[in-house]
Chain A
Amino acid sequence: MTTSKQILVLYKQLLEKAYKFDNYNFREFAKRKVTDSFKANKGLSDSEAITNFYNQGILDLAMLTRQTTISQMYTFEKLVVEPLKRQR
């Protein structure tokens, strides 16, 4: 049985990973994909469907972890649309 608490933790982990893409296009896509698919499925009530969705999320989290790591190894110039980070 998957609780809403677990879902929120997974959502947070997925979003945090999505932010870690170095490449703007991948990052924005991943953020959009994560939020959109959670919003689209927030009305799920069948516990089996929820569990399936949750398990898929776990797999996606593993995939995002791999891909963000790779993304950080091969960095490119920032795009013009990206705001430059302030000097810290």
Chain B
Amino acid sequence: MFRFAVRSVRPVARLPVASRFVQPIRSYAVAPITKDEVIKRSFEALKTVAALQESEISLESSFQKDLALDSLDTVEALVALEEEFDLEIPDKISDEIKTVGEAVNYIFEEEQKL
């Protein structure tokens, strides 16, 4: 309802009548997610994984090498990320994700598609 009000009032004041319907005002419920936000939320989600609580997480750190996770913990970390962002990482892609940065990139790309 608010949107209609905005659409009908503002163009009358500023634009000539002909272009009133040419430029609809688009309004989003939520601003698109930024990369920084994805990174911040990923790190928070990763901190909930028991094996990662004390580790220093950075974008370059590899799950298995730097963070010393075994395959079970890696799966756990990825599921924690999935739940945080409400998406599902297919098995094929999760096999290729080796570092935190790769996971963040994948999530960011998926969020752009929404």
Contacts and interface: CB of A to CB of B under 8 A. Distances in A.
Interface of chain B, main secondary structure: helix
A12 B71 CA distance: 11
Interface stretch (A34-42, A51-59, A62-70): A34-42
Contacts of B76: 11, 15, 35
A9 interface: yes
Contacts, number: 31
Say which size band chain B's interface belongs to: 10 to 19
A15 B88 CA distance: 12
B110 interface: no
Interface string B34-72: 000000000000000010000000000000000000111
B96 interface: no
Closest 4 pairs (CB-CB, A-B): A15-B79, A19-B83, A12-B75, A11-B75
